[in-house]
Structure formats: C-alpha cells, structure tokens
C-alpha cells in the first residue's frame, strides 16, 4: 500500500502554511488505510509546525507535542495490524520524541501555574511579593530547557526527524486489519481508561492521576479519528472527555509545581509551606470533581459498549 508523498513533497510540507489534515476515518475507509493516512499526514503537518518556529516559542512546542500525542494515540488503534516488535518500536519513538520537548514545555507551564496561583498566595498570606523568589527560581530554568536559544534548534531537529519518520511510514507494509474490528476499535482504549481510573480510585497519587490524564487524551484523539463509525465516539462523549482532560491537566500542573517548589533551596520554609497549603486547598476539590466526571464518563461509555469490562490497550 503506497500513497504518494512524493506528489506532495516532504520539503514542501515543511514550508506550506495551509496544510489541512482530516483526522477522522473516512466513510467506507478501512482502518489500516485510515490510520496510515492520518498518522503520516500528522507527522508531516507537525514537522511543518516545528520548522516554522525560528524563534523561541512555547506555543510551537505545545503544538508539536500535541501533534505527536494525537499521532501516537491513533497509531495504537492499528496494533492488530503490526508485528509486536514493530509496534513497540514505533510507540517508543513517539514517546521519546515527545519527551525531548517536554522539559521546555514544563518550564513554561510552571511559570503559568505560578501566575495563576500568585493572587491566592497574596490573599492567603498577606505578603505581596513574598512569592517572587519562587518565580525567580523558575525563570532560571529556561536556559536549561532550551527556551532561550535562537533559533530554537530543538524544534528544528524534531522537524527533520518527523519528516524522516513520515518517509518510513510511506514505505511501510501493513497487515490488513479485519473490517469487523472497526466496531471494536475503541475497546482497548476504553479498557486502558477504565484501568487507569480504577488505579486512581485505589490510590489517588499524582502519578496515577497523570496516567489517567494520558489515557483520557488517547481516548479523545481516538474518538476524533473514529468519528461516526462507532457509537462510543459521539460528540457528547468527546466533550465529556475534553472537560475531564482539562481538569486533569490543571491537576497535573499543580502536582508538578508542588514538586518543584518542594525541591527549591533558595526559598524560606515559611514561603514553601504557604505554597504547599495553597496547592492543597486548590488540589483536593479538583481531585473530587475530576473523579466524579471520570466516573460519569465511564458509565456513559459502558452504556455504549456494554457492561462487560473491555480489554486493555498497551
């Protein structure tokens, strides 16, 4: 199965400003054809986005990482069509490529989290400006995370890697996936989401909430891709997943911020304790809301796919 990226041109894909990618499975399109088409197109579009940012731009890092996450989630749908070794190798490539950018993105998120929490610090402590040492510590991290390089070599390196990976996918030989699997395509992703939710309920740690967030994102991207081809990918369910993902995203930002503040040597114990109390006050109700929405989404999905617990997706 060869489509022809040569007609589009790899170099052109990095320069075009109007690339349009349809992320959903087309009507009557087989699963393996749709997955290969969309993931390949996402790689090219993401490489173009990476190449466009010649100056430090956290927005560019966010866009590229989002494209990688979407491509990786859709790639998981095609697991039955891959040799396990090849599947694991591709999944590891997506993961590692995203991790190279995560440090730069995390620094910006830490600064934004500080901005959102700073007014509460003043309100709760009456100490206007006492939270500034934390911000100073965060801003020192920027050079270490490649945010202040010009041009941003990291994004350009990733752009070239994405183009090379798209070429590899263009030449890939896929095992055809049975048509009946389209109806069951979301079952593994739903199972992974349910398993992650069960883990959080048993032990609500920051790491487990983060895993739940990743499974929600995966499921949301897979819903987008499947569109109207399966009942469990309706717009209402997708909106529920989005809202849950937003709550879990803020929870993750708080968790990362708390860990960073706890590790800072340049702030007083009083300031550190004040920040920890604020994070705790914000985080506990947030966890309760997220768990309520997560359970509601699980029950809604169960009505669509049946009460039997689906198998998991690795």
- What is the DSSP annotation of 254-287? HHHHHHHHHT-SSS-HHHHHHHHHHHHHHHHHHH
CB of 84 within 8 A of CB of 196? no
**pLDDT band for position 31 (50/70/90)?**
confident
CB of 106 within 8 A of CB of 145? yes
Checking if the pLDDT of 145 tops 90, the result is: no
- Which residues have C-beta within 8 Å of that of residue 84, sequence separation ≥ 6? none
Which pLDDT belongs to residue 146? 53
87-128: per-residue pLDDT in tens? 899 999 999 988 888 877 788 888 889 989 988 776 655 554
φ, ψ for residue 113, nearest 5 deg: -65, -40
Which pLDDT belongs to residue 179? 55
**pLDDT band for position 306 (50/70/90)?**
low
Lowest average pLDDT, out of 22-26, 81-85, 150-154, 198-202, goes to 150-154
Which pLDDT belongs to residue 87? 87
* Higher per-residue pLDDT: 56 or 223: 223
Which pLDDT belongs to residue 202? 97
201-224: per-residue pLDDT in tens? 999 999 999 999 999 999 999 999
Which pLDDT belongs to residue 222? 93
Give the Cα-Cα-Cα angle 306, 312, 313 (nearest 5 degrees).
120
Which pLDDT belongs to residue 75? 92
Single pTM value for the model: 0.83
Checking if the pLDDT of 14 tops 70, the result is: no
Which pLDDT belongs to residue 48? 86
268-304: per-residue pLDDT in tens? 888 888 889 999 999 999 999 999 999 999 999 998 8
**pLDDT band for position 10 (50/70/90)?**
very low
Checking if the pLDDT of 188 tops 50, the result is: yes
- Which residues have C-beta within 8 Å of that of residue 190, sequence separation ≥ 6? 219, 232, 301, 305, 310
Checking if the pLDDT of 83 tops 60, the result is: yes
Residue in this structure with the two tokens 């202040």, named with its chain if needed: 148
Reply yes or no: is the peptide bond before residue 117 cis, omega within 30 of 0. Answer: no
Which pLDDT belongs to residue 122? 64
CB of 190 within 8 A of CB of 219? yes
pLDDT over 90 for what percent of the chain? 33
Q: Which of 233, 246, 243, 200 is nearest to 301 (CA)?
A: 233
- Which residues have C-beta within 8 Å of that of residue 304, sequence separation ≥ 6? 231, 232, 234, 237
């Amino acid at each position: 199965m060869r489509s022809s990226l040569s007609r589009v041109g790899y170099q052109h894909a990095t320069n075009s400003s109007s690339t349009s990618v349809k992320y959903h499975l087309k009507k009557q399109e087989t699963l393996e054809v749709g997955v290969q088409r969309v993931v390949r197109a996402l790689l090219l579009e993401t490489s173009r986005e990476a190449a466009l940012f010649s100056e430090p731009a956290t927005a560019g890092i966010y866009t590229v990482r989002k494209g990688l996450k979407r491509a990786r989630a859709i790639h998981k749908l095609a697991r039955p069509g891959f040799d396990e070794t090849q599947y694991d190798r591709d999944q590891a490539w997506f993961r590692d490529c995203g991790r190279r950018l995560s440090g730069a993105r995390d620094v910006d998120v830490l600064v934004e989290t500080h901005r959102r929490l700073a007014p509460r610090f003043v309100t709760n402590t009456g100490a206007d400006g006492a939270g500034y040492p934390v911000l100073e510590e965060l801003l020192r991290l920027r050079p270490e995370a490649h945010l202040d390089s010009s041009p941003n070599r990291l994004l350009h390196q990733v752009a070239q890697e994405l183009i090379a990976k798209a070429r590899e996918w263009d030449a890939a030989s896929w095992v055809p996936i049975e048509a009946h699997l389209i109806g069951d395509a979301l079952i593994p992703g739903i199972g992974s989401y349910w398993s992650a939710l069960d883990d959080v309920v048993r032990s609500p740690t920051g790491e487990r909430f983060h895993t739940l967030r990743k499974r929600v994102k995966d499921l949301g991207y897979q819903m987008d891709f499947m569109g109207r081809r399966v009942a469990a990918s309706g717009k209402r369910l997708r909106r529920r997943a989005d809202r849950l993902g937003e709550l879990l995203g803020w929870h993750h930002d708080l968790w990362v911020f708390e860990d960073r503040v706890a590790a800072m040597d340049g702030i007083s114990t009083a300031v550190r304790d004040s920040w920890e109390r604020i994070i705790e006050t914000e985080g506990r109700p947030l966890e309760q809301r997220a768990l309520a929405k997560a359970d509601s989404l699980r029950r809604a999905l169960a009505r669509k796919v049946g009460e039997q617990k689906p198998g998991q997706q690795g």
